[in-house]
Amino acid sequence: MGVAGCGKSAVGARLAARLALPLIEGDDFHPAANVQKMQRGEPLLDADRSGWLATLGQKLKAARGGAVLTCSALKRAYRDQLRAASPSLCFVYLRIAPDESLRRVAARSAHFYPPSLVASQFEALQSPDGEPGVLTLDGTLAPDRLALQAAQWLQRGDHCREVPTAPAPGS
């Protein structure tokens, strides 16, 4: 998880291969309306993300033997929605600075996400630091190194067991 350009896809693919798990590339499941909105330089709202997150949750549920999901999961509510679908879900947060994110997104040639939206990612980001079941890594490290660190953490212990989610608003 993390902002645009942090390395989710590169690290996720390597982690999935290392763990012999399927990869669920979150960007592949954005509805066309969301992709068009982002291509126009409009940030997604919570309402835009809700159905997308529900789809990703269904994909996680269907992957009974586990999976690696790449998803921005910028807000605690988004992470909790995914945890509700997969209670033992862990997050690997690839932290990078805004200028590095902007540099990486601007360098991508074949992606729908424009550099003009990078600032909105940081505005929406609620750091997962301190949440149970979260490993924070320096997203500027090489993807192979990050995948190795994540795999070692996941294989070490029980930090991903039934993480409690925050109560729903109004409950």
Q: How far apart are CA 114 and CA 38, in angstroms?
A: 7
Answer for the pair 27, 73: CB distance below 8 angstroms, yes or no: no
Task: Quote the pTM value.
Answer: 0.89
Instruction: For the domain covering 8-156, report its CATH number.
Output: 3.40.50.300
For residue 34, CA distances in Å to 58, 105, 142 come to 19, 18, 30
Closest CA to 119 of 41, 28, 40, 52: 41
Structure tokens of 19?
């763990």
Q: What is the pLDDT along the chain (171 residues), one digit of tens a residue?
A: 999 999 999 999 999 999 999 999 999 999 999 989 988 889 889 999 999 999 999 999 999 889 999 999 999 999 999 999 999 899 999 999 999 999 999 887 776 777 888 999 999 999 999 999 999 999 999 999 999 999 999 988 767 765 444 444 443
What residues does each domain of the chain span?
Answer: 8-156
Close Cβ partners of 18 (under 8 Å, ≥ 6 residues apart): 147, 148, 151
